[in-house]
Amino acid sequence: MSHARFIVGDAMSVLRTMPAQSVQSVITSPPYLAKRAYLPADHPRKAQEIGQEGSPADFLRSLLELTDELHRVLRDDGTIWINLGDTAAFSGGSGGDYLPGGQRAGQARYEGTAAKAQHVKRWSRTKDDWPLAKSVCWVPELFGASLAYGRNLLNGEPCIQWVTRPPVTWCKPAPTPGEILDKFRESTELIVWGAKQGSYYFDLDAVREPPKEESDRVFTRDAFHAAPGAHGSAPDRAYNPRGVPPLTHWVINTSGYKGAHFATFPPELIVRPVLASCPPGGTILDPFAGSGTTLAVATGHGRNAIGIDIDERNADLAAARVGMFLDVEYPTFEVVA
């Protein structure tokens, strides 16, 4: 029977106490750069809140320090799956969230990167600063490329190198509403994923889909190796009886959630990573567990799960979603700022 733990604390502090090679996969969505502030200003762990860094380079540093530690706790045949959205330089934060009907309607607007503009002078800009105002920062792509090359591509600091695989693009048919004046509505996010080594656990059969069109047909192994016909024609195409691999763009709507957490990803988004990256009975880790989506999907599909979250208020939300198979822990080792 699957089981889940929810550990309240800063992700890095908790990860450093976990045994090496103790989880099969990591599926998570960290806070995005300068999009939201989850903890109140007087919270004792406020200084450890990821997403509040002063520049994209500093934000990448936080993420890469985290993935270095994840490399240690992950099994040698394990994978990481990181959902990230981008940020525009000197923008106003979460946009449509604050409009009528948005997830944060009626709340004080988070200033986002706009509040940092007054502290940056264009003539003193360095590689550790921001791009020009309104420019997207390319954070998800820079993060994936930094993992691939083994260094923070904005400041050159080394990090552990990963085997990065083709990222998944999450396509949202109904993105968050908001007034748009000089761009197209943003409706995609990336899932960057990679492995510690070239040979890793991946159960493609668990997530195959039935072919829908002629273009979806794939060669079976026998057909692929068959000799051409008498006139040099290609071998006959045949359906793989197990189905076809999913594409790297996943059209999945955001899902409504009535709890007091404003950045939940839809359960459907992580079903494929759960099934493909971890065998039944294995353990999946989410170091930014939030309301417990990863934990609920993992346990619902026969996997064990460990969630970490800096905000103690999320423990009750996760308990409501996961149910009786969730243990909530408040470690005493943590030193907070």
| Residue pLDDT, tens place only, 243-282 | 999 999 999 998 655 554 455 789 999 999 999 999 999 9
Rounded average pLDDT over 132-147: 96
- Residue range 209-216: mean pLDDT, rounded: 69
Inform me whether the pLDDT recorded for 149 exceeds 70.
Answer: yes
Contacts of 325 (CB under 8 A, 6+ apart): 1, 2, 3, 4, 299
Spatial separation of the C-alpha atoms in residues 205 and 27, rounded to whole Å: 19
pLDDT at 92: 55
Residue 125 pLDDT > 70? no
Average pLDDT rounded to a whole number, residues 234-251? 79
Between CA 25 and CA 73 the distance in angstroms is 10
Topology, domain 4-208+245-329: Rossmann fold (3.40.50)
Q: Which two tokens stand for residue 127?
A: 């590689």
Question: For 75, left (φ over 0), alpha (ψ -120 to 50), or beta?
Answer: beta
Percent of all residues in the chain with a pLDDT value above 70, rounded to a whole number = 76
pLDDT category of residue 121 using cuts at 50, 70 and 90: very low
Q: Which residue ranges make up each domain of the chain?
A: 4-208+245-329, 212-244
Residue-by-residue DSSP string for 8-61: ES-HHHHHTTSPTT-EEEEEE-PPPTTT---S-TT-TTGGG-TT--SSHHHHHH
Query: Which amino acid does the sequence have at 160?
Result: I
SS3 120: coil
Helix (H, G, I), strand (E, B) or coil at 149: helix
Q: What is the pLDDT of residues 89-119, one digit of tens each?
A: 987 554 444 445 444 445 455 555 555 544 4
- According to DSSP, the residues that pair with 250 across neighbouring strands are 170
| Interior angle at CA 171, CA 169 and CA 177, nearest 5 | 135
Say what the pTM is. Answer: 0.83
Say if residue 51's pLDDT is above 70: yes
What is the reported pLDDT for 111? 54
- Rounded Cα distance, 311 and 46, in Å: 10
Question: Which residues have CB under 8 Å from 115's CB, separation 6+?
Answer: none
